[in-house]
Amino acid sequence: MLVIPVIDIKDGKCLRLFHGHYETTNYYSDNPVTVARLFRKENFKCIHITDLDGAVQGEMKNYPIIREICKSVDIPVLLGGGIRDFETAKKIIEDLGVYRVVIGTGAIANPDMIKKIIDIYSPSKLAIGIDEKLNNVVTNGWINFANITPLKFARMMDDLGVKRVIYQDVTRVGNCSGAFTERLLEIANNTKNIKITSAGGIGNYPQLKMLADLNNPKIDSVMISKALYENKFPCQVIWRDIERIDTSLELPKVKK
């Protein structure tokens, strides 16, 4: 089970939403680049970045910061938020050199774009974000309902040749209540060629182990945010005590 740390950026700062509500947030750092470097020093194998302003407004708003992150770390970067057309996806892949673009709203509004990305860059350069609320996919930064179930959306993407989806129940985001394993298994067991990254809800090691113990080869990775920022895993205490000695790297502090 690959663990992927998440950096959510809004107004140039690193934060995490609670229950998918933009008015309820925890700000963790004024410098997302510092956070990315910290995750790299802790030996994570890749990083996921979301431009939350882009997710709501439909165009990327934190591009300069994201560019700096991509230049600052030597591990793959996954990037989503505001990618609604092929030209934006092309710019991100070719100019930033990201490992994979993550598209949610754009995949519903413009499925032909998804096919074009697959045809030109291969399925490995793309992941589809499936954000759910009450068995309905939500779009535009979790604001609007798309009137399609997560499973139906996953099957549509499967038919287009998509190989990876990132699934999360937005009501679990930030509350550390565990992954929605029933939905993860439903998608895994009813699609043909899709691998699944679980996102949202993991708050501690027992919840992470419960996800890994599903032993479903299609569910092979997990994204974690709040629990990492708030040192919910025992190994982090060792890592970050060491980092406090290194004055060259300022640790992010929780801002409520």
pLDDT at residue 158 in the model: 98
Show the tokens assigned to 19. 């229950």
Q: Residues 11, 53, 112, 131: which is the catalytic one?
A: 131
The DSSP string of 85-97 is SHHHHHHIIIII-
Q: What's the pLDDT at 236?
A: 61
**pLDDT at residue 17 in the model:** 58
- Residue 169 is among the residues annotated as catalytic for this protein: no
8 an active-site residue?
Answer: yes
Q: Which residues of 48-57 are buried (b: 16+ CB within 10 A; e: fewer)?
A: bbbbbbbbbe
Does pLDDT of 42 surpass 80? yes
Backbone angles phi, psi at 79, to 5 degrees: -135, 130
Q: How far apart are CA 9 and CA 7, in angstroms?
A: 6
Domain 2-245: CATH superfamily, name plus number? Aldolase class I (3.20.20.70)
Domain extent listing, the chain: 2-245
> Which candidate in 8, 51, 53, 158 is catalytic?
8
pTM: 0.87
Q: Are 123 and 98 in contact (CB under 8 A)?
A: no
Residue 7 pLDDT level (bands cut at 50, 70, 90): very high
Question: How would residue 175 be classed by pLDDT, with cut points 50, 70 and 90?
Answer: confident
How many Cβ atoms sit within 10 Å of the Cβ of residue 67?
Answer: 15
Per-residue model confidence (pLDDT) at position 167 = 97
Name the DSSP class of 127.
Answer: E
* pLDDT per residue as tens digits for the range 48-94: 999 988 877 777 789 999 999 999 999 999 999 889 999 999 999 99
What is the spatial distance between Cα 101 and Cα 90, in angstroms, rounded to a whole number? 9
Cβ atoms < 10 Å from Cβ of 256: 5
Question: Mean per-residue pLDDT for 97-126?
Answer: 95
